[in-house]
Amino acid sequence: MHPLAEQIHRGNKRALSRAISLLERDNPLAAQIMAQLHPHTGNGYTVGITGPPGAGKSTLIARLTQKYRGHGCSVGILAVDPSSPYSGGALLGDRIRMEGHYLDAGVFIRSMSTRGAHGGVPRMVKGVVRLLEASGKDVALVETVGVGQTELDVMGVADTVVVALVPEAGDAVQTLKAGLMEIADVFVVNKADRPGAQQMTANVRSLLSMSPTDVVWKTPVIETQAVNGVGIEELADAIEEHRNFLSESGALEERRRKRRSAELSEMLRDRLVRRIERQIARSPALQSLVDRVEGGDMEPHAAVLELLGKFAVGTDGADF
């Protein structure tokens, strides 16, 4: 086993940080490390926290971490920050609300950029979660970027998805109709001491009551005041109940099977696209097709068909 993989398996935080950086840069060593650590993955549990900006996701995570640490569980926190569409940079904040956990040896915190991902979670987070598991973390808490209704990629990462709302979110129908209703395993109405909280809770429960009657898991709606620690016990219990439900019904392994299959497809797609782009950049003939599209002399669909027709992918990928 590579020395870096050994250090990660022993729980070395510095080694874990280095491996995540390798994964972010798509360094070939990352694939070697991931393969060697694979037998030590799958024993952790991942909770995704999503919802609109200002819902208090970071505070909820800080409180949940405190709860899990009180039960002796080690925790990994992945906080996804938006990256600039122009520079590609990101404000990777230190998450002031989590500052009490930085010196805790049982907690690992990492901020990550979306790197252009539009679903709230970059693809590499899935690999980072496995690294956390291999390092011995019992629970991984993933906070999405907080862009609103489009954060559905958290389903591809988390075993349990918590959707956090606040009274100021407005009409619950508008808040939920774009997909968050379908992905939530637990709803949280945070900042429940503010006006409108009870109405928001009632609206969400009313919408949930219209779910198909064959739905086995009844999504709970928990009111919290994360900043004061109110409702965190109930939230942790709801997450644990959902975990038990998934395990006992066999749905947990089925979810993970689908996620692994989807991740494989995503990685293949990404790598094939990058190889094709490199081949185009090296070939004047292929680049001329791109130039014709840019100049408006050729329709993009026709160009794609012609480009694909010029690639004959061998079993060893040599044509790329």
Q: What is the pLDDT of residues 256-298, one digit of tens each?
A: 999 899 889 988 888 888 888 888 888 888 899 899 999 999 9
pLDDT of residue 231: 95
Contact (Cβ atoms closer than 8 angstroms) between residue 126 and residue 157: yes
At 274, is the secondary structure helix, strand, or coil? Answer: helix
Are residue 59 and residue 33 in the same domain, yes or no?
A: no
Shared domain for 58 and 166, answered yes or no, is: yes
What pLDDT is recorded for position 94? 43
Question: Do 13 and 126 have their domain in common?
Answer: no
Beta bridge partners of 223: 189
Same domain, 170 and 300: no
pLDDT of residue 223: 96
Same domain, 114 and 5: no
- pLDDT digit string, tens, across residues 4-16: 999 999 999 999 9
The answer to whether residue 170 is domain-embedded is yes
Burial of residue 72 (CB within 10 Å: 0-12, 13-18, 19+) is exposed
Q: Do 186 and 156 fall within a single domain?
A: yes
| pLDDT greater than 50 at residue 299 | yes
Quick check: 216 and 250 in contact, CB under 8 A?
A: no
State the pLDDT at residue 24.
87
pLDDT, mean of residues 206-215: 75
For 93-149, the pLDDT digits (tens) are: 445 556 677 778 899 999 887 654 444 456 788 999 999 999 999 999 999 865 444
| pLDDT confidence of residue 96 | 56
- Model pLDDT for residues 26-50, shown as the tens digit of each residue: 899 999 999 999 999 999 999 999 8
Q: What is the pTM of this model?
A: 0.84
How many domains does the chain fold into? 3
Does residue 102 fall inside a structural domain?
Answer: yes
* Domain presence at residue 52: yes
Sheet (strand 221-223) strand order: 107-113, 75-81, 139-143, 45-50, 160-165, 186-189, 221-223
Q: Domain of 84: which CATH number?
A: 3.40.50.300
- Specify the higher pLDDT residue, 282 or 155: 282
pLDDT of residue 152: 60
Residue 72 φ/ψ, nearest 5 degrees: 80, 10
Highest mean pLDDT: which of 31-40, 51-60, 200-209? 31-40
**pLDDT higher at 146 or 320:** 146
pLDDT of residue 103: 78
SS3 content of the chain, % helix, strand, coil (to 5): 50, 15, 35
Amino acid of residue 313: V
- Whether residue 80 is found in the same domain as residue 129: yes
Sign of CA dihedral 205, 209, 210, 216: positive
Same domain as 244, residue 140? yes
DSSP 225: B
Reported confidence tier of residue 87, pLDDT bands at 50, 70, 90: very low
Inside any domain, residue 95: yes
84 and 64 in a common domain: yes
The pLDDT tens digits of the residues spanning 57-75 come to 989 999 999 999 999 999 9
Q: Does residue 47 sit within a domain?
A: yes
Residue 160 lies in a domain: yes
225 has pLDDT over 60 = yes
pLDDT range class, residue 213, cuts 50, 70, 90:
low
Q: CA 162 to CA 154: how far, in whole Å?
A: 10
279 and 221, same structural domain? no
| pLDDT higher than threshold 50 for residue 224 | yes
pLDDT digits (tens, 9 = 90+) for 160-195: 999 998 887 655 555 555 566 778 899 999 999 999
Short-list 38, 31, 30, CA closest to 9? 38
d(CA 168, CA 146): 15
Kindly report the average pLDDT of the chain as a whole number: 83
Tell me which residue has tokens 């219209």.
210
Quickly tell me which residue has 């991740």 as its tokens.
263
Distance between CA atoms of residues 320 and 314, nearest Å? 9
**CA-based radius of gyration for the chain:** 22
Does any domain span residue 89? yes
Residues 227 and 265 reside in one and the same domain: no
The domain of 286 spans 260-309
Give the residue with greater pLDDT, 64 vs 320.
Answer: 64
User: Is pLDDT of 317 > 70?
Assistant: no
Same structural domain, 49 and 113: yes
318 inside domain = no
Contact 18/33 with Cβ under 8 angstroms? no
